[in-house]
Amino acid sequence: MTAKKKKDAKPSALGRIVRAIDAAGRDADLARRSASDPKFRRGVQSDRRATLSKFTTVKHALADRERIEKAKKRT
């Protein structure tokens, strides 16, 4: 397979699932480490969305929400 075909090819469903599980695992590890951090807790209290947006799964959820809102505006 040529390099161009690899770039243009849609990722497989299994690959997307594996990446999602991997991101969730990394986020869970980061959450466990930062749960006891007082600076992180203060940040969550003051600006929940900005502080939590460092997690990959939260970024994906926010992107999905924005995409849905844009689709609703078009119709």
Sequence letter at residue 7: K
Give the contacts of 30 (CB within 8 A, at least 6 positions apart). Answer: 54, 55
pLDDT for 5-48, tens place per residue? 566 667 788 888 888 889 888 888 888 887 778 887 777 777 77
Verdict on whether the full-model pTM lies above 0.75: no
In a domain, 4, yes or no: no
pLDDT of residue 3: 56
Q: Which domain holds residue 32?
A: 12-74
- Of the candidates 59, 63, 66, 64, the residue with the CA atom closest to the CA atom of residue 23: 59
In a domain, 62, yes or no: yes
In a domain, 67, yes or no: yes
55, pLDDT greater than 80: no
In a domain, 69, yes or no: yes
